[in-house]
Amino acid sequence: MFRNQYDTDVTTWSPAGRLFQVEYAMEAVKQGSAAIGLRSKTHVVLASVNKANSELSSHQKKIFKVDDHIGVAIAGLTADGRVLSRYMRSECINYSYSYESQLPVGRLVVQLADKAQVCTQRSWKRPYGVGLLVGGLDESGAHLYYNCPSGNYFEYQAFAIGSRSQAAKTYMERKFETFTEASRENLIKDALFALRETLQGEKLTSSICTVAVVGIGEAFHILDKETVQALINEFEIAGEEAPADETAPQDQDGDAQPAAADQGPADQGVAPMDM
Amino acid sequence: MTKEHANWSPYDNNGGTCVAIAGADYCVVAADTRMSSGYNILTRDYSKITQLADKCAMASSGFQADVRALQKHLEARHLIYQHQHNKQMSTPAMAQLLSNTLYYKRFFPYYAFNVLGGLDGEGKGCVFTYDAVGSYERVGYSSQGSGSTLIMPFLDNQLKSPSPLLLPAKDAVTPLSESEALDLVKTCFASATERDIYTGDKLEIVVLNAKGTRREYMELRKD
């Protein structure tokens, strides 16, 4: 994209019917580090690459728990993402307060999309510079949505956003038909494989990625480092092959340390400055 | 020149009694399950106890509509706290939050008489007792509600050292074991049920300790 006279503010149309500021906001998402999501009939897995700016700093938090049944992974301006996560949490809390039941994911993403749209039609605002992969469960099953800065949202079987996300998308395009019926373990492994594609040869370790799961009977939570590393080791030892669909040898509890069985709450290793 | 009075009150008293006792490594929170209005029983099976956090439970007697609203408010606030701090609220923190919440409605109070029980930061039992507008105190044991006038003096007599009447209280917790505390609570309610018409039907007991939370029930007289 190049600078032109129609891109100064968001309330100016170009002659071709484009809003350049909104498109520039979508560029910000493409520049952020990768985040991916995949869903099966019963589970949704979100994963993100967490690169720290330097060895001295901690990494950015890119996956947020919104409620027991919803989580979100972001790419782009993480500050905007944090603010939107806070909004989503607040909406979920208010809904359960009023209706004593969980906010359906489809309702939340519409509210989020409407909120984003407002910023595309006010001269004193700017669009949010963050893309959100919202994964959650409700009465109608498991869902994965992508919310853009433009105010659009789409439902996906699997999606990737951020830098080098095309590599992950290519991997997932090959395999997505297996996702609906995939077991929880295979879904997580596919997420890790897809994430690895975005690293372009760099070694995938649990210190540079975050993985989170939500499923039927399983509240949204971020997997701890040990569990993730154990899964990575398992498939790297098994070779470069992506996991087959049969679940027999895939039982993670057989390989991993006792820590792997502990699907505890949020990541304990996160430094305080991440909030 | 008599003052004109409302022909309607926003409050009702649904009766009932609550008790909490703190020990060295546990806390017992108990309440009867009778909900009444005037001389009528609305239901024999209504819980007045809610678990606000992993290690914190609250029992409230008074106007149950206000109690339920208060419980929902605190639950929502606890969720926000967990999102912001990445951990559960401690019982002393919840105690302060409850006090502030009650005082916020100083001029249209929650008609709720609360006892908060749980484990503090060190794993010791703690009980906090409240009035309707948020005045609170940490104690070793307390009771609230229609049977409290019958139960409280009995507990003061049986549990001398943590009694706040012996100023300052020698201990913040009772020297009882968990099973002794449970027996004491059951005795209190069996006695209160005899003379207080608003207390009876069933006793619900929540026990919080290092192993987690468990619930126990005991039948009470239904008359």
Summarize pLDDT for B11-68 with one digit per residue, the tens. Answer: 999 999 999 999 999 999 999 999 999 999 999 999 999 999 999 999 999 999 999 9
Joined tokens for residue B196: 């207080």
Please give the torsion angle defined by the CA atoms of residues A128, A132, A136 and A138, in that order, rounded to the nearest 10 degrees: 40
Q: Which residue has 């975050």 as its token pair? A: A210
DSSP character string of B102-134: HHHTTTS---EEEEEEEE-TTS-EEEEEE-TT-
CB contact under 8 A, A275 and B76: no
Choose the mutation target among B50, B68, B83 for the interface with A, i.e. most A CBs under 10 Å: B83
**SS3 call for B146:** coil
Q: Which residue has 């009778």 as its token pair? A: B34
C-alpha count within 13 angstroms, C-beta hemisphere, residue B185 = 34
- The C-alpha angle B136, B137, B138, rounded to 5 degrees, equals 135
Of A65, A86, A97, the CB nearest to B76: A97
Q: Above 90 in pLDDT, residue B165?
A: no
Q: Please count the residue pairs, one from chain A and one from chain B, whose beta carbons lie less than 8 angstroms apart.
A: 18
Distance from CA of A257 to the nearest CA of B (A): 24
Amino acid at A130: V
Query: What's the alpha-carbon Rg for chain A, to the nearest Å?
Result: 19
The pLDDT profile of chain A, 275 residues, written as one tens digit per residue, is 667 899 998 999 999 999 999 999 999 999 999 999 999 999 999 999 998 888 888 888 899 999 999 999 999 999 999 999 999 999 999 999 999 999 999 999 999 999 999 999 999 999 999 999 999 999 999 999 999 999 999 999 999 999 999 999 999 999 999 999 999 999 999 999 999 999 888 888 888 999 999 999 999 999 999 999 999 998 775 434 445 544 444 444 444 444 433 444 444 444 333 33
DSSP A139: T
CA distances from B99 to A64, B96, B113, B172 (A): 31, 5, 12, 19
Packing angle, helices A105-118 and A78-99, rounded to 10:
130
Distance from CA of A270 to the nearest CA of B (A): 10
Binned at pLDDT 50, 70 and 90, residue B181 comes out as very high
Give ipTM to 2 decimals: 0.88
A64: nearest CA in chain B? B83
B86: nearest CA in chain A? A266
pLDDT of res. B19? 98
Q: Which residue has 């701090």 as its token pair? A: B85
Q: Above 90 in pLDDT, residue B164?
A: no
Q: Which residues sit opposite B113 in a β-bridge? A: B61
Residues 6 or more apart whose Cβ sits within 8 Å of residue A175: A190, A242
pLDDT of res. A1? 60
Distance from CA of B76 to the nearest CA of A (A): 6
